[in-house]
């Protein structure tokens, strides 16, 4: 065996040894993004919407308890979505910001839709409506902030959906009132993604 053949054989042996000792690398797949990255969070959101619906009529003898139960469930889900808005993946954080805004608006819209018991006098009915509207209005600013964050992320479709909602308040003298008056338009945004 000459030197040239020895070098070639050695190189081939080293190459085969290196290949044999290096396990094949699995194909890299990008991590999921958007709602598919957080299936348990999306499932929690949908369960929240189904389980915690406020009555439309204020006749319920336990209305205050139902509102408190919904708010307790809201707080837990809100905290999870807030955490997800800090996810390093822009599509996940954009999705979470959008859903966080929806969470606030859902609560506001359900509260503002409750009608007083028709058996109470008109003055008390108006007081009831005003009190609920005041409570609901407090959820609009955080909703808008969440939608602003989703819009700033500039990730489709979350930025476009957030813009659709924010455009309802554009050039309105009272943005809170504009959103609350358009709750029926917003209903489509709460459906599963």
pLDDT for the residue numbered 167: 85
Alpha carbon 141 to its chain's center: 16
First to last CA, the chain: 70
Residue 4: the pLDDT is 41
Give the pLDDT band of residue 8 (cuts 50, 70, 90): very low
Angle at 25 between CA 23 and CA 30, to 5 degrees: 160
Q: Are 95 and 34 in contact (CB under 8 A)?
A: yes
Q: Give me the pLDDT at residue 129, please.
A: 86
**CB neighbours of residue 127 within 10 Å:** 13
Backbone angles phi, psi at 115, to 5 degrees: -100, 145
Distance separating alpha carbons of residues 40 and 67, to the nearest angstrom:
24
The rounded percent of the chain whose pLDDT value lies above 90 is 28
What is residue 14's three-state secondary structure? helix
Spatial neighbors of 11 by CB under 8 A, at least 6 apart, are none
Q: What CA–CA distance (Å, rounded) separates 70 from 65?
A: 9
Question: Per DSSP, what are the bridge partners of residue 115?
Answer: 57
Question: DSSP assignment, residue 121?
Answer: -
Report pLDDT digits (tens) over 49-76: 889 888 877 666 688 888 899 999 999 9
């Amino acid at each position: 065996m000459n030197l040239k053949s020895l070098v070639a054989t050695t190189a081939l042996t080293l190459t085969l040894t290196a290949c044999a000792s290096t396990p094949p690398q699995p194909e890299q797949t990008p991590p999921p993004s958007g709602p598919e990255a957080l299936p348990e969070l999306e499932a929690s959101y949908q369960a929240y919407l189904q389980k915690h619906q406020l009555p439309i009529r204020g006749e319920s003898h336990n209305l205050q308890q139902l509102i408190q139960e919904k708010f307790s469930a809201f707080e837990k889900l809100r905290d999870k979505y807030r955490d997800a808005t800090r996810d390093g993946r822009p599509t996940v954080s954009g999705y979470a910001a959008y859903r966080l805004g929806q969470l606030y608006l859902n609560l506001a819209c359900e509260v503002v839709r409750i009608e007083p018991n028709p058996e109470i006098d008109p003055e008390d009915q108006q007081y009831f409506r005003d009190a609920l509207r005041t409570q609901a209005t407090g959820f609009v600013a955080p909703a808008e902030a969440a939608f602003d964050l989703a819009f700033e992320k500039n990730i489709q479709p979350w930025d476009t959906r957030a813009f659709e909602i924010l455009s309802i308040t554009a050039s309105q003298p009272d943005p809170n009132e504009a959103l609350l008056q358009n709750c029926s338009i917003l209903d489509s945004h709460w459906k599963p993604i």
